[in-house]
Structure 1
Amino acid sequence: MRTFLSKVPVLALIALAACGQPHSDKRVIVFGVDGMDPEMLQERIDRGMMPNFKALLADGGCTFNGQPQLSLQTSWPPQSPVAWSNFITGVNPGKHGLYDFIHVDRSNYGIVSSMSETSDIGSEMHLFGYTLPLSGGEQTLTRQWPAFWEVMSEDGIPVAVHRMPANFPMKETTAVTFPDMGAPDLLGAASGKAYLWSDDLMNRANKDSDSSFVRTVEVNKNRPGLWKVNTKMYGPENTMLDQRDLLAEEHAALELGNKVKAAQIRGQMANEREVSTAITLRVDLTAEEPMLAVDIDGAYGICAEGEWSQWVPIEFEMIPGLVSLSGWTRFLFKSAEPFEVYASPVQIDPFNPAMPISTPESAAADLAKAIGPYYTQGFPDAYKSYKAHLLETGEFVSQSDTVFEERALMMDYAMGEFEKTGGLLFFYTGSLDLRCHMLWHCQDDKHPHQEPAGEHNGVPFELQIDRVYKQVDSMLGDLLAQIDTVDAALGGKTEVIVMSDHGFASFRRKMHVNDWLIQEGYLVLKEKGDTGLIMATGHHDDGTVDFDTSMVDWQKSKAYSVGFNNVILNRIGREAQGVVSDGAAADILAEIQTKMLALRDADGVPVLTSVEPASKVFQGEAVFLAPDLQLGFNVGYGCSDESASGTVTGDAWLVDNDSRWSGSHLMDPELVRGIVMTRAPHALSKDPSLEDLTATLYGLFGVDSPVGTDGQPLFQ
């Protein structure tokens, strides 16, 4: 256990109160473990792998109707941004407005982020070759209900939230908060945009995606044993450049029908907007093992082959001499032959953030001063790089271990602050969730995706999910030991709640929902056999959407799907090309529901176990904007990435999931419930839900919950 706590004298607490810092004698800690499954947890407790969870259950735990209660109702649908928003607010999606990882843009049937939105640029000023926005362009949170920390801190309760999914950008609050899922890297990529440099021309090619830059490079080997690669890393595009003249040239080229000239001008504009910083990769083969030294303007990252460098600072000049953005990155020396170097996404600099990454804004720097640079982006475990085969299994586990170790340091820091203030502390870890998503295939010999066996640091790949469960158990043990120290110093007993947002299961078969809707005649293509995005991709000169650029005949289409657990009706007055009236909606939904519940795999297994209208599972003013039908997949089944992004594949509607993304929870909520545990024994008033935990927190501190809160206090 890391020791850091010291007893805080009563006089020090009095001094803190006199300085105006909130303080509470009541102490509650919520430990949020993303993706922890009650059945998987119990099975590992029974195997003797989880001594701290076992002790917590033995000494405390929950009961309902006289029976042990470990499971927690998750959200409809059981997706992290939805589930955590239910917990954040204490209400269902019909009130807070988040229904999926992805929301549909009903103006063109494309996709938008469910968690945040950016307003259009308003007035601008043009000065010295730059266009400076004077209004608009703000990114705001889409959540439509107050968070528990906002309500409680307004009531004078000290609240600290150390990483919370679906909470970026953050709203102003007197609570201390750090975001997680949804918080971007310095480039603005929600899950980060990594780098891979390689001279393996047979297996790698230059490629940009939403999550990576892959660059083939020529290694300078002129000096024996001392190699060098000159390359660069990218900052955010410089959208402040005044490109009005080039835009006019592009428009003129299009007016003349010269698409080639227009494309050349667009390329020129993109090149001018590029912001980059030169870096040098040096390899020394003269030592006992190959060594990499990365030089970024005199700052060095050094590591051996197969190892990671320390954090390295990097700066991008946006306006020469005036505006620059700083960040941090780490390098993995994958191999010398072939030459391959990987770099983590550039993190927002917590010492000098380009945008707020904490409340108050100074909290990010305070944390960095205590523990050093850290992953500021949400979902920092490099799951996208692993999914895209930029990282191998051991490399992914190694990077995820670093994230987990950082979280342990954050927990220590949070506990030090909690000892001073009391009140409510929420602490979150997400590595278990992402390793279950990405490593399930290693332990599931029936999964379609299989890779050669291997190990990392002596632990076989098939035992890595066991290992991350044990890591979380150790973290819980450290947390409980530190809580004991606080209780001994201050007196009283801290209430502890351990919870997760959902459980987990194998994801072996995926459904192309849009392809099924085409098969059944609900989604109609203009040309049979077309594949691609269903959205309209073009616009008229006046800026309105040109639906001739969509391959879908929307005037004949009754339903479509955008997102992971739904079917959406093409409704009049809601969709841009809606054809389904309010009067016809119920019958169409009932028909689709009946057909979907009858779907069977080739071996007779039901593909879906629950299909429910939005009006049944959601309540509130935002229900009309919800996807009309909620799909509860059976264990082993889920929606394809292609369908979730609004794509028609042309394949069969049900196919194997041959992907490293092999575990999932986007299923029937009853099949992937979360967990709830308490340090003190509690008889619960009802079958617990995420919203009930929120109401329970309000009750523990005697704070009135907002009118309309769905949750009910659990402790009798």
Structure 2
Amino acid sequence: MTQHLFIPRQRPFRALLALGAFVALNALLPVTAGGASTETAAQEGRVVLVGFDGADSRTTRRMIDEGRLPNLAGLAKGGTFAPLISTNPAESAAGWAALNTGTNPVKNGVPSFIKRNTSGTQMPAFGHIYQEDMVIEIPSSALVSGLVAAAESLPFEPNMAMGLLVTLAGVLGFMFVLRGLLKVKLELAVALSVLISLAGGYAGMTWMADRSTGGSSDSLASNTYEVPQVFKNAVTQPGFWDIAARGGKRAIVLDAALAFDQETVPGARVLAGLGLPDVRGAGNGNWFIYTTEDTEVHRAPKGWVDSKGSGTGTTFRVDERGGKIVTAVYGPVNFTKKAPLEAQIAEINESLKSPDLGWKTGGELRDKRKALEAELKGLKSAPHDHRVSLPMTLERRGEELAITINGDTQTAVEGGWTDWFRLPFELAPGLVAGGLTRARVMELGEVITVYLHTFDIDPENPPIWQQVSQPAGFAGELAGWAGGPYETLGWSCMTNQLKDKKLPVEVFLEDVEFTMKWRRRLTHSVLDRDDWDVLFSVFSTTDRVQHMMYKYHDPDHPFHDPEESARVVDFFGKPTALKDIVPAIYEQMDVTVGEILAKLDPADTLMLCADHGFTSYRRGLEVNNWLESEGYLTLKPGNTKTNNNMALLAADWSKTKAYSLGLGMIYVNMEGRERGGIVPKGEAKALLAEIGAKLVALRDAGSEEAPFDEPQQVVLDYAIMDDLYQGPQEWGRADYPCADMQVGFAEYYRASWGTVSGKLKLVKNEAGAVVPGPMFKDNSNNWSGDHASNSPHLVTGIFFSSKPVQIPADGVSVMHIAPTVLESLGVPIPENFDLPALARK
């Protein structure tokens, strides 16, 4: 599917035009900056909801009891503290989507980060985002471009904004001509100006509506481009902030998961978080290492990507000459090359049809076509050759390294960071994708090594096709409030860099501190304003720290090193042992809450929430291997390669009843749904219950090298998803978003890394035959804490409310949050919400 979008050319005066129009419109219309009525601004008591990704209720309770979280202890004493039960599975994509929308995964369309491919193949696909091509047009007229930019920046529906802008401009213009130049009587000049301008305004509003629905705008466009694989949001339900705005409240949202690519609702200003890619279109962000180390041999523009790691980092070998390194940074693939290449190929094809074409000319044309086709193919097969680049130089200056990117020079010592570099990647005249990066000097001795952080989308200059906020101008406005640009990549903090063992843990922690301080800064910039009724701000650092630091914190983790865990580093200005970083991030959460409380009035309501909790990830279960051992999955005979381990390729689907992929998800090889499905739908639930009961009974005796004293329970519970969640999609169809069954792992266990991508563990036996390998494996990854396939009743998040509420008998769910916020605001709760608001005591 291709989306069609008309893009205003990026002009220096667009902000001034928008500002001028906004001032004029505010003089004419009874609205506030947020788009809600002035009556709303006088509302008594605001609502602040703060999300702490992965904040675990058990850890929080223990630290409150130890006296280490004074602000949270006070909040619990004066209000309510309870475990918050996540979705099933208990992970961020599904958890935040349900919390934001008040609806279950079948209704909101987000079952997990990973789901089964809906084409019927037994392969994984993204469950929280999808990608599609988008056609963009750039107008040749600067005036039209400026009007479109201004209309889309204002806090109104763009169609209405365009009509008002054209009307206002027309009135001023005609008044100048009729009254100023032609000296027409005032009354007549006013009447004529208004009548003519209203007609023009209606035409402008109609044209804007036609443009927004894909109508033709060829008469105004100079160039058309197809942007490949733009990130789109899979959430199908509105966030509670949009519902609040439609109910007359002014909402501000900071870093909310899966909040991009949504309708702009007047009154709601939304900065998106989880799900947003970097400026290169990479979902988890690409990062880069430039080094003169002799052992690195791969040079720009391709460099070297570790295929055994996350695949997100690139290392470039560079050379120092006379104390200076000349290189470049590489941004998005220049997709604007595609149309001219296709046009040239089409022209050659037409020329080759000519009966008068000579053999020599024909041969030259075919050779040229072959070269053009290779270049066109290379846009996908060799993207490094087609990326927009900016020059970068590294130059020694005593004990500092001067780093210059695109003319901007900053210096840093070894171990030091620069501030932001802006990266204006120009793909075509008027078409710029703005990025941001920071640099850290890793080595400045005989070898020079520089780390370049992910190229986050510049909030003040985003690529038009991948906006980071609604309305589009809010991200830049927020930068003005906070005093500078900020991170926008949906997956913040350097987890992949640490997973790939390319950077030391200290650098990861420096980035965590940078991220959390900036999130506080953004939050304070809103708290200091009075133009909102509800604020939702999300902090992700609690999650990232626990994912990467549990092997230091958990003395029984198989890769816990007591000596290394006792090593002291600086964390938020305090000397902290690595084993204490996990509780230290909870203490920083408490500091954040204290700072927010200090800015609230007694009538305000503060609520805290989390999408899930946490536990140590010690051991993984190869779920497909277990299914094979129990006879539910059958392997094809004759496999001779251990890396031919995707279930899709390795399984005999004529005999296989069930398979697993994703985060603890099990699917029936269902007749009429899967390709080669053999299990009738009517027998599927009985099969799932049988599998679930056997998993709950499963015990792990440990490895031969380190057997357990007592066999350990591996699976705590399971859920048949059709019995848990209902929505518009019918279970058993290919488009049903959830798994057939979700495994709820016990403490310290998770689905193995291979299971996530639908693999089995295959090994060669003594005879050289390929056979299933061990079912259990110690987790040796730096990613040593998790929650994603644990039972939701085990890894519960936090819920706090400054106003006491009643706790339901079956606990507080993430789906209680949206209705509770709306009720606190006095906004009616939609009928499709799964749960009611929590009642006040």
Establish whether residue 190 from structure 1 lines up as the match of residue 313 from structure 2. no
Which residue matches 1:101? Answer: 113
Query: What's the % identity of the aligned pairs?
Result: 27
Secondary structure, counterpart of 1:435 in structure 2: helix
Which residue matches 2:47? Answer: 28
Q: Distance in 2 between matches of 1:283 and 1:460?
A: 35
Which residue matches 1:353? Answer: 462
Secondary structure, counterpart of 2:700 in structure 1: coil
Q: Distance in 1 between matches of 2:404 and 2:59?
A: 45
Residues 393 and 405, structure 2, Cα contact 8 Å, conserved in 1: no
Which residue matches 1:367? Answer: 478
Which residue matches 1:178? Answer: 271
Residue by residue, what CA displacement relative to the aligned partner does 1:62-82 show, whole Å, maximum 9, x if unpaired?
Answer: 2xxxxxx52122211101111
Q: Distance in 2 between matches of 1:89 and 1:303?
A: 44
Bigger shift: 447-456 or 86-95?
A: 447-456
Secondary structure, counterpart of 1:439 in structure 2: helix
TM-superposed deviation, 1:341: 1.2
Establish whether residue 162 from structure 1 lines up as the match of residue 254 from structure 2. yes
Per the alignment, do residues 17 and 246 of structure 1 end up closer, same or farther by CA in structure 2, a change over 3 Å counting? closer
TM-superposed deviation, 1:17: 9.7
Establish whether residue 470 from structure 1 lines up as the match of residue 579 from structure 2. no
Which residue matches 1:11? Answer: none
Per the alignment, do residues 16 and 498 of structure 1 end up closer, same or farther by CA in structure 2, a change over 3 Å counting? farther
Establish whether residue 712 from structure 1 lines up as the match of residue 833 from structure 2. no
Residue by residue, what CA displacement relative to the aligned partner does 1:138-194 show, whole Å, maximum 9, x if unpaired?
Answer: 654222323212222111111111111122323332211111110111011122111
The CA RMSD over aligned residues, in Å, is: 3.1
Which residue matches 2:452? Answer: 343
Residues 135 and 224, structure 2, Cα contact 8 Å, conserved in 1: no
Of the three residues 604, 620, 623, the one matched with 1:513 is: 623
TM-superposed deviation, 1:609: 0.6
Q: Distance in 2 between matches of 1:110 and 1:670?
A: 28
Which residue matches 1:9? Answer: none
Per the alignment, do residues 135 and 503 of structure 1 end up closer, same or farther by CA in structure 2, a change over 3 Å counting? closer
Of the three residues 525, 528, 533, the one matched with 1:416 is: 528
Secondary structure, counterpart of 1:632 in structure 2: strand
What letter matches 1:291 in structure 2? E
TM-superposed deviation, 1:443: 1.3
Residues 620 and 751, structure 2, Cα contact 8 Å, conserved in 1: yes
Secondary structure, counterpart of 1:590 in structure 2: helix
Per the alignment, do residues 239 and 635 of structure 1 end up closer, same or farther by CA in structure 2, a change over 3 Å counting? farther
Of the three residues 421, 434, 440, the one matched with 1:332 is: 440
Establish whether residue 118 from structure 1 lines up as the match of residue 230 from structure 2. no
Bigger shift: 552-561 or 177-186?
A: 552-561
Residue by residue, what CA displacement relative to the aligned partner does 1:586-620 show, whole Å, maximum 9, x if unpaired?
Answer: 23212211221121111311110102211222222
TM-superposed deviation, 1:246: 8.2
What letter matches 2:410 in structure 1? G
Which structure has the greater CA radius of gyration? Answer: 2
Establish whether residue 689 from structure 1 lines up as the match of residue 813 from structure 2. yes
Of the three residues 207, 219, 244, the one matched with 2:319 is: 219
What letter matches 2:756 in structure 1? A
Larger helix percent: 2
Which residue matches 2:184? Answer: none
How many matched pairs?
654
Residues 555 and 579, structure 1, Cα contact 8 Å, conserved in 2: yes
Q: What residue ranges of structure 1 are gaps of 5+ in the alignment? A: 1-13, 63-68, 250-261, 537-546
Which residue matches 1:252? Answer: none
Of the three residues 44, 47, 69, the one matched with 1:50 is: 69
Bigger shift: 455-464 or 140-149?
A: 140-149
Which residue matches 2:11? Answer: none
TM-superposed deviation, 1:45: 1.9
Q: Distance in 2 between matches of 1:411 and 1:473?
A: 15
Q: Distance in 2 between matches of 1:42 and 1:123?
A: 51
Establish whether residue 495 from structure 1 lines up as the match of residue 605 from structure 2. yes
Residues 199 and 340, structure 1, Cα contact 8 Å, conserved in 2: yes
Which residue matches 1:10? Answer: none
Q: Distance in 1 between matches of 2:558 and 2:816?
A: 38
Q: Distance in 1 between matches of 2:424 and 2:103?
A: 42
Establish whether residue 207 from structure 1 lines up as the match of residue 331 from structure 2. no
What letter matches 1:114 in structure 2? G
Of the three residues 389, 403, 409, the one matched with 1:277 is: 389
Per the alignment, do residues 442 and 695 of structure 1 end up closer, same or farther by CA in structure 2, a change over 3 Å counting? same
Establish whether residue 432 from structure 1 lines up as the match of residue 539 from structure 2. no
TM-superposed deviation, 1:16: 13
Which residue matches 1:456? Answer: 569
Q: Distance in 1 between matches of 2:379 and 2:519?
A: 43
TM-superposed deviation, 1:525: 3.3
Q: Distance in 2 between matches of 1:263 and 1:522?
A: 46
Which residue matches 1:539? Answer: none
Establish whether residue 311 from structure 1 lines up as the match of residue 420 from structure 2. yes
Secondary structure, counterpart of 1:697 in structure 2: helix
Which residue matches 2:684? Answer: 585
Per the alignment, do residues 15 and 474 of structure 1 end up closer, same or farther by CA in structure 2, a change over 3 Å counting? farther
Bigger shift: 398-407 or 599-608?
A: 599-608
Per the alignment, do residues 495 and 296 of structure 1 end up closer, same or farther by CA in structure 2, a change over 3 Å counting? same
Q: Distance in 2 between matches of 1:446 and 1:16?
A: 67
What is the 5 A alignment of 1:58-137?
Answer: 58=77, 60-62=78-80, 69-107=81-119, 108-119=121-132, 132=224
TM-superposed deviation, 1:703: 2.2
Give the alignment's TM-score, normalised by structure 2.
0.73
Of the three residues 762, 777, 783, the one matched with 1:655 is: 777
Per the alignment, do residues 123 and 370 of structure 1 end up closer, same or farther by CA in structure 2, a change over 3 Å counting? closer
Q: Distance in 1 between matches of 2:626 and 2:380?
A: 41
Q: Distance in 1 between matches of 2:374 and 2:625?
A: 33
Residues 691 and 711, structure 1, Cα contact 8 Å, conserved in 2: yes
Residue by residue, what CA displacement relative to the aligned partner does 1:326-375 show, whole Å, maximum 9, x if unpaired?
Answer: 21100011112443211111111111110211111111001112221110
Residue by residue, what CA displacement relative to the aligned partner does 1:609-649 show, whole Å, maximum 9, x if unpaired?
Answer: 10221122222233622211110000100012221112233
Q: Distance in 2 between matches of 1:239 and 1:523?
A: 47
Q: Distance in 1 between matches of 2:469 and 2:333?
A: 21
What letter matches 1:346 in structure 2? F
TM-superposed deviation, 1:672: 0.7
Q: Distance in 2 between matches of 1:679 and 1:159?
A: 20
What letter matches 2:437 in structure 1? T
Bigger shift: 178-187 or 105-114?
A: 105-114
Which residue matches 2:713? Answer: 606
Residue by residue, what CA displacement relative to the aligned partner does 1:243-293 show, whole Å, maximum 9, x if unpaired?
Answer: 5588999xxxxxxxxxxxx99995586447621324334242x63xx3222
What is the 5 A alignment of 1:371-386?
Answer: 371=482, 372-386=484-498
Per the alignment, do residues 530 and 463 of structure 1 end up closer, same or farther by CA in structure 2, a change over 3 Å counting? same
Residues 279 and 294, structure 1, Cα contact 8 Å, conserved in 2: no
Per the alignment, do residues 531 and 120 of structure 1 end up closer, same or farther by CA in structure 2, a change over 3 Å counting? farther
What letter matches 2:125 in structure 1? V
Residues 260 and 467, structure 2, Cα contact 8 Å, conserved in 1: no
Q: Distance in 1 between matches of 2:700 and 2:59?
A: 26
